[in-house]
A and B are shown apart, each in its own frame.
Chain A
Amino acid sequence: MTAKFSRREFLQYGSVAGLALAGASGFAGNLTRALAQQKLTQDDLLKFDSKGQVTLLHFTDVHAQLKPVYFRPPDTNIGVGAFEGIPPHLVGEAFLDYFGLQAGSPYAYAHTMVDYVNLARSYGKLGGLDRTATLVKAIRAERGDDKVLFLDGGDTWQGSYTSLKTNGQDMVDCMKLLKPDAMVGHWEFTFGAERVLELVDEMGYAFLASNIVDTNWEEPVFDSTAMFERGGVKVAVIGQAMPYTPIANPRWMFPEWSFGIRPEVLQANVDKAREDGAEVVVLLSHDGFDVDQKLATVVSGIDVILTGHTHDSIPRAIEIGNTLLLSSGSHGKYLGRIDLEVSGGKVTGYSSNMIPVFSDVITPDAEMAAKIAEVRAPYEDECNRVIGTTESLLYRRGNFNGTWDDIICQGLIEERDAEISLSPGFRWGTTLLPGQDITIDDLYAQTSMNYPNAYRLEFTGQQLKDILEDVCDNLFNKDPFYQQGGDMVRVGGMSYTCAPKEDIGNRISDMTLISSGEKIEAEKKYVVAGWASVNEGTEGPPIYELMENYITRKKVLTAPEEGTVKISGY
């Protein structure tokens, strides 16, 4: 495989970045003017060093966002062990430096939170499935249908008001128009096994999972592999579902399916694909970035890993040994592209790009726009109903509490009369800029799910500590195969110190009840409210109804200035 990042790619890259501003450094006032003067075009976004016989297009973790969104990239994304200080554990300026991006450029706005609010106001929203459709169609036209594989990395069906109301039907109806060649799953399974099989049956393309077996006989539930011929090259696509779906999500929703990373099964499937004549082996994965970085080193024979789940975006593919890895972000913000040159049954060259889907620049595809309008029509008025406004920037993504989580944690405490609240460390959930209205669409982008009940229970201090330690180890275990891919559970009413580099049992300290300033006592009981319990039969109002009441009552939301988590030793 060829060089890291060729001079030519770099220049091409620079030319896109250079559109932003000449010599400015993210200074807000000048920047807005500079941006107003610039002309970023659809053609600029599509510019690509086309290569070889095969084009892979990767789209992942859209979380049912049919319309363009704001999505602020994280300010905290800590890597531990061998993964410290390398992608995807780079944020802000470090990310810009590593990838050679200019502050204030379109790519800088797409991938980092540097000067986020100002750039968001200038560049606008990203995503929208009608814009993605335009890009996919343009690339298929440029390359020819017979050279392009379009692959959906999953977490497609869940995450909006309309996906909840239609049980994922809205997403399947829209995605069908894009004609993906294959997809994998994670949150899809939270619609229940029966619904998954029903939608898979009707969608008309492969749903792959090398790592799902039935719990009785350990036999495969889905096809592991789909074979394609593109540009005269035999390409095998192998799928990986999110390995820890039955642990991170309710197992009772798909009780007969067992997951796991299963590297030995994957190796066997790769070998089988090669035996069957595959010249290129692609892993379409919902493992998460670090799991796949490790997998690339323990499974041999994979040419390309298209990874999702952890919502990391990188502007181009990275090389791990002989394997290319591309991670195409989330919420419809990006379309990942890799072109492969294949000769003698081997990948001999490539080029790659992460195309940011600038919604104001890309002409919506008419067919998809009409379909989106059609699936939303019965719900449009409700989706657009305004329930409040925000004075603060509201976002979720990051290892610890985002401001949206702070609002939800406060809502839980007030609406359920609790001392402490817990909110899951999901990586999905869009962003609102200061001054924006909050609509039902926005609320459900944070809370849409099939196990939404907001419980109220008593936990001892020790139980709280155990929960925090356990979730923290899912995030910061030095071996990525033990990471589940979510962020830290969000906490309200209590502050604590977290030491990511320690081991389980020693990361969490200084737990303090904010209302009294007193240290949490191991034996003492505390009233705790939370949501998204994986246990069947959890009681309480759905989180989206609870939060609608809270936001309606508050009218104007303001996020707290200070966080509740102190990081130590990092």
Chain B
Amino acid sequence: MNMNRRQAMAMSAGAVVFAATGLATTGALASAEDVDKAMMELAGGKMPEAGKVSLTAPEIAENGNTVPISVEVDSAMADGDMVESITIYADGNPNPDVVTFHFTALSGTAMAATRMRLAKTQNVVAVAKMADGSTFVDKKEVKVTIGGCGG
């Protein structure tokens, strides 16, 4: 959905009919390429593999201003099987870097949850970096919709 600033203001004034679940900004937004680049950097020059990490996010956001997500890595969190960090990206936000969670053996499990704002429909990407340097990725499209005509 494209929405300029004026429309966004009209919405916040409650004058409109279709509730936007997210508010776009007028600035430039990130792209999938930006996120690919950031992931390559994190992974040391290659793309992370699929597997181990699983990202949970709604298919369609109820409120684009606060989208709950959680991420978990299948790991023993001991000896050779340690998660060092999980980084979350959003490939359609003004700034694609969302958050990095750091873990130690004392963390017990490699699991984290947060809420994020999404400017529009886009992919949320989670990359887990293991202590041995290997990286894993999971991705989910979260739709930010106008809503209101179903049922």
User: Residues on A close to B: CB < 8 A?
Assistant: 186-187, 218, 244, 246-249, 251, 258-261, 264, 422, 424-428, 455, 457, 462-463, 466-467, 470-471, 473-474, 479, 481-482, 484-486, 489, 504, 530, 532-538
Q: B149–A244 contact, CB under 8 A?
A: no
**In the complex, residue of chain B having the shortest beta-carbon distance to the beta carbon of A537:** B14
**In the complex, residue of chain A having the shortest beta-carbon distance to the beta carbon of B148:** A534
Q: A248–B151 contact, CB under 8 A?
A: yes
Q: Which residues of A contact B76 (CB under 8 A)?
A: none
Q: A486–B14 contact, CB under 8 A?
A: no
Q: What are 30 A-B contacts defined by CB distance under 8 Å?
A: A218-B68, A244-B60, A244-B150, A247-B145, A247-B148, A248-B148, A249-B148, A251-B62, A260-B58, A424-B150, A424-B151, A425-B151, A426-B151, A457-B15, A466-B146, A467-B18, A467-B149, A470-B146, A471-B149, A473-B143, A473-B145, A474-B149, A479-B59, A489-B149, A532-B148, A533-B18, A534-B147, A535-B14, A535-B17, A536-B14
B95 at the interface (CB under 8 A from A): no
A428 to B143, CA, bound (A): 26
Q: B2–A425 contact, CB under 8 A?
A: no
**A-side binding surface: helix, strand, loop or mixed?**
loop
Q: B63–A251 contact, CB under 8 A?
A: yes
A482 to B17, CA, bound (A): 21
Question: Quick one: which of A426, A474, A481, A535 contacts B19, CB cutoff 8 A?
Answer: A535
B31 at the interface (CB under 8 A from A): no
Taking the closest CB of chain B, its distance from the CB of A403, in whole angstroms, is 19
Q: A246–B17 contact, CB under 8 A?
A: no
Counting chain B CB atoms within 10 Å of each CB, which of A248, A425, A426, A535 scores highest? A535
Chain B interface residue count, CB cutoff 8 Å, equals 28
Give residues of chain B (125-151) contacting chain A, Cβ–Cβ below 8 Å. 143, 145-151
Q: B149–A248 contact, CB under 8 A?
A: yes
Taking the closest CB of chain A, its distance from the CB of B20, in whole angstroms, is 10
A482 and B59 contact, Cβ closer than 8 Å, known pairs A187-B151, A463-B7, A471-B149: yes
**In the complex, residue of chain A having the shortest beta-carbon distance to the beta carbon of B70:** A218
B123 at the interface (CB under 8 A from A): no
User: Residues on B close to A: CB < 8 A?
Assistant: 1-3, 7, 11, 14-19, 21, 56, 58-60, 62-63, 68, 121, 143, 145-151
**In the complex, residue of chain A having the shortest beta-carbon distance to the beta carbon of B14:** A537
Q: B19–A534 contact, CB under 8 A?
A: yes
Counting chain B CB atoms within 10 Å of each CB, which of A187, A247, A425 scores highest? A247
A426 to B151, CA, bound (A): 5
A530 to B58, CA, bound (A): 29
A186 to B147, CA, bound (A): 15
Counting chain A CB atoms within 10 Å of each CB, which of B15, B59, B63, B151 scores highest? B151
Q: B17–A533 contact, CB under 8 A?
A: yes
Q: A247–B150 contact, CB under 8 A?
A: yes
Question: Quick one: which of A248, A260, A463 contacts B59, CB cutoff 8 A?
Answer: A260
Q: Which residues of A contact B147 (CB under 8 A)?
A: 244, 247-248, 470, 484, 534
Q: Which residues of A contact B11 (CB under 8 A)?
A: 535
**In the complex, residue of chain A having the shortest beta-carbon distance to the beta carbon of B1:** A466
Q: B21–A247 contact, CB under 8 A?
A: yes
Q: Which residues of B contact A484 (CB under 8 A)?
A: 60, 147, 150-151
